[in-house]
Amino acid sequence: MKARVTVMLKDGVLDPQGEAVRLALTGLGFDGVRGVRQGKVIEVDLATEDRAAAEAEISRMCETLLANTVIESWQVELP
Protein backbone atom coordinates (compact mmCIF):
# COMPACT_ATOMS: atom_id res chain seq x y z
CA MET A 1 0.00 0.00 0.00
CA LYS A 2 1.41 3.38 -0.97
CA ALA A 3 1.12 6.15 1.59
CA ARG A 4 1.62 9.73 0.54
CA VAL A 5 2.98 12.02 3.24
CA THR A 6 2.84 15.79 2.81
CA VAL A 7 5.16 17.75 5.09
CA MET A 8 4.64 21.50 5.35
CA LEU A 9 6.11 24.23 7.54
CA LYS A 10 3.60 25.12 10.24
CA ASP A 11 1.58 28.30 9.85
CA GLY A 12 3.52 31.21 11.27
CA VAL A 13 6.91 29.68 10.49
CA LEU A 14 8.67 31.81 7.88
CA ASP A 15 9.21 29.96 4.60
CA PRO A 16 12.01 31.75 2.71
CA GLN A 17 11.83 29.33 -0.23
CA GLY A 18 8.10 29.81 -0.67
CA GLU A 19 8.63 33.56 -0.46
CA ALA A 20 11.31 33.38 -3.20
CA VAL A 21 8.92 31.41 -5.40
CA ARG A 22 6.18 33.97 -4.76
CA LEU A 23 8.50 36.82 -5.78
CA ALA A 24 9.53 34.93 -8.93
CA LEU A 25 5.88 34.33 -9.86
CA THR A 26 5.10 38.00 -9.32
CA GLY A 27 8.13 38.89 -11.46
CA LEU A 28 6.70 36.71 -14.24
CA GLY A 29 3.54 38.76 -14.21
CA PHE A 30 1.32 36.47 -12.12
CA ASP A 31 -0.26 39.31 -10.17
CA GLY A 32 -2.83 37.32 -8.24
CA VAL A 33 -0.41 35.39 -5.98
CA ARG A 34 -1.03 36.22 -2.32
CA GLY A 35 1.37 33.69 -0.88
CA VAL A 36 3.37 30.53 -1.60
CA ARG A 37 4.29 27.83 0.90
CA GLN A 38 6.71 25.11 -0.19
CA GLY A 39 6.70 21.68 1.38
CA LYS A 40 7.62 18.14 0.43
CA VAL A 41 5.85 14.98 -0.58
CA ILE A 42 7.19 11.60 0.50
CA GLU A 43 5.76 8.35 -0.88
CA VAL A 44 6.19 5.31 1.32
CA ASP A 45 5.46 1.87 -0.10
CA LEU A 46 4.26 -0.25 2.82
CA ALA A 47 4.14 -4.04 2.93
CA THR A 48 0.83 -4.07 4.77
CA GLU A 49 -2.59 -3.87 3.07
CA ASP A 50 -4.33 -3.10 6.37
CA ARG A 51 -5.32 0.57 6.40
CA ALA A 52 -5.38 0.98 10.17
CA ALA A 53 -1.98 -0.67 10.56
CA ALA A 54 -0.58 1.48 7.74
CA GLU A 55 -1.92 4.64 9.31
CA ALA A 56 -0.45 3.81 12.72
CA GLU A 57 2.91 2.89 11.22
CA ILE A 58 3.19 5.97 9.03
CA SER A 59 2.20 8.23 11.93
CA ARG A 60 5.11 6.87 13.93
CA MET A 61 7.42 7.41 10.93
CA CYS A 62 6.29 11.03 10.67
CA GLU A 63 6.81 11.70 14.37
CA THR A 64 10.23 10.04 14.54
CA LEU A 65 11.84 11.02 11.24
CA LEU A 66 9.81 12.30 8.30
CA ALA A 67 8.75 15.60 9.90
CA ASN A 68 10.45 17.89 12.40
CA THR A 69 7.41 18.60 14.52
CA VAL A 70 9.03 21.70 16.04
CA ILE A 71 8.49 23.51 12.74
CA GLU A 72 6.61 21.14 10.44
CA SER A 73 3.16 19.57 10.26
CA TRP A 74 2.32 16.45 8.26
CA GLN A 75 -0.65 14.81 6.58
CA VAL A 76 -1.04 11.28 5.28
CA GLU A 77 -3.11 10.11 2.32
CA LEU A 78 -3.80 6.42 1.92
CA PRO A 79 -5.44 4.87 -1.16
Partner 1 sequence: MKAAVLVFPGSNCDRDLAVALRGAGADVEMVWHKETALPEGVDLVAVPGGFSWGDYLRCGAIAARAPVVPALRRHVERGGYALGVCNGFQVLIEAGLLPGALMRNAGIRFVCRTVALKVTTAHSRFTAGYRTGQSLSVPVAHHDGNYFADAETLRRLHAEDRVAFTYGEPVNGSVDDIAGILSANRRVLGMMPHPERAADPALGLTDGAALFRGLVEDAVPA
Binding region for partner 1 (CB under 8 A): 13-14, 16-17, 20, 64-66, 68, 70-71
Distance of closest approach, residue 62 Cβ to partner 1, in angstroms: 12
Helix (H) or strand (E) holding 17: helix 16-27
51/45 Cα distance (integer angstroms) = 13
Distance of alpha carbon 7 from its chain centroid, rounded? Answer: 2
Question: Which C-beta is closer to partner 1: that of 47 or that of 64?
Answer: 64
- What value does the CA radius of gyration of the chain take, rounded to a whole number of Å? 16
- Find the shortest distance in angstroms from Cβ 56 to partner 1: 20
Q: Could you tell me the smallest distance in angstroms from the CB atom of residue 16 to partner 1?
A: 5
